Amino acid sequence: MPRRRTILGAAGGLVGTALVGFGAARTTETNDADGRAAEPAEAAVEYARNVEEVRGHLVSATTLLERGRRADAALHAGHGGDYFAAVLPPVRNEDPELATRLRARLNEVPERIESDDASAFDAFVTGEVYPLLDEAVGLVIDGETRASTAFDVRVMNALAGRIAEEYDAAVTADGTIQEEGEYWDGRGFLVRIEERHDAVSAAVDGAGGDSLGRLRSEMEAVDPLSAVAGTTRRFRVRTAAAADLPSATVEGREDALAYVRSAEEVRGHLRSSVALAEAGSRDAGLHASHGSDYLLTLLPPVRRADPDLSERLLDRIAAVDDRAASATAAEYERYVTEDVLPLVDEAVSVAVPAEYADSTPFDAAVFLALADRVADEYDAAVTDEEAIELYGEYWDARGFLTRMEARFEAMASDLDGETRSAVDEELGVLREELETARPPRDVENSVAALHRLLDDVAAA
């Protein structure tokens, strides 16, 4: 089952925002300042995902009961109550009677799993529970949003992310199921993705179908997490690109800035992993794995323009973690430098409009965005007493600083001499502060100084 804090966190977000009235959130696809269609409302996607998780638990309960595993089925049958805080409040706001009926039916599920045979339980769930869940979704999320292919894809992708989480909790590195509950959570969620995908397959030209088939095979065979995680990423990238989500297109300066900053962070993580590998630190693998965290940002725009490049970059970044663990430091550095980073460069050149490629104001904006990330990570890592508490975040900051230095080197000749000297001096101070673990306020002051020097340049 999902960790309880995951469910409550989702519900908390909903109650605090859109559940004040999903009427306000029902406009889900608005236009931003550039005229682009915005992503469907996060609250609507999250609500639908929670309902789909309830369905997924019921699917697994039915499947396990059919296999004669009543005790395991009962575990999943009882999970519906875990979602009351996420599912019921917005229904109650609009139709208290429906909320009461839905709550009663979900409360009845654990009783029925103990007394019914598999056929009777399936009939109860299909005939009496699912229709109420459908009514709830129809009441909370407007029809235009529900009819949107982009909305379906985002719900599927959210569920795919949950599969990876549950599988990670359930299966050991050698492919042993250590938590049956979480394993069957993932299996149930997969069924819900498959059914949603069937409904929109034509609209996305079948994108993601092969990944779902592969994912089912991997989960049934209890393959290692790395395989399942890689397949869920492929599914999410392919469907996002095929559905033409706004995340699959880089348009305008802000989009370009966010994309390039993410690419620079990937480079920073990899540079930190190389430095740690050279030092013989086991933390090299931690930073090697961080590149995968950015794939859903980097790859959808690339997938639309160059599917082969998207697949190659996904494969290379997914393999970084294993390379960090198995290769020598020199071999690992060569892999990062020769096999991975050039593909990140290609991704940026494919995804980001050319007008930003040689722009000093844009380079300055990326530089400052990275500086802000350095300050954030350093503040999380180091105490006011100059103690490093979180080495992961500390080395995040160190890696991002290397990318600031590279950006500065690229744009330095276009700055006037006074600005260039002042930025160079502040960068040196910032590096010393990070290397000697100075208090976070010192780093914040250095970043503020860099903003004073380059804000006007970035805004030009």
For 380-434, the pLDDT digits (tens) are 999 999 999 999 999 999 999 999 999 999 999 999 999 999 999 999 999 999 9
What are the Cα distances from residue 147, in Å, to 29, 37, 141, 361? 12, 15, 10, 41
Task: Tell me which of 173 and 98 has the higher pLDDT.
Answer: 98
- Other Cβ atoms within 10 Å of 292 Cβ, number: 19
Global pTM value:
0.78
Q: What value does the mean pLDDT take over residues 234-252? A: 87
pLDDT band at 356 (very low <50, low <70, confident <90, very high): confident
Contact status, residue 332 vs residue 324, Cβ threshold 8 Å: yes
Q: Give how far the C-alpha of residue 70 lies from the chain's centroid of Cα atoms, to the nearest Å.
A: 35
pLDDT of residue 414: 95
pLDDT of residue 401: 97
Q: What percent of the chain has pLDDT over 70?
A: 91
Angle separating helix axes 42-66 and 4-16, nearest 10 degrees = 150
Place of tokens 């396990």: 64
pLDDT band at 249 (very low <50, low <70, confident <90, very high): confident
Contact status, residue 404 vs residue 427, Cβ threshold 8 Å: yes
Average per-residue pLDDT in the chain? 89
Cα distance between residue 300 and residue 281, in whole Å: 33
C-alpha angle 110/115/119, rounded to 5°? 95
What are the Cα distances from residue 194, in Å, to 136, 191, 235? 21, 5, 11
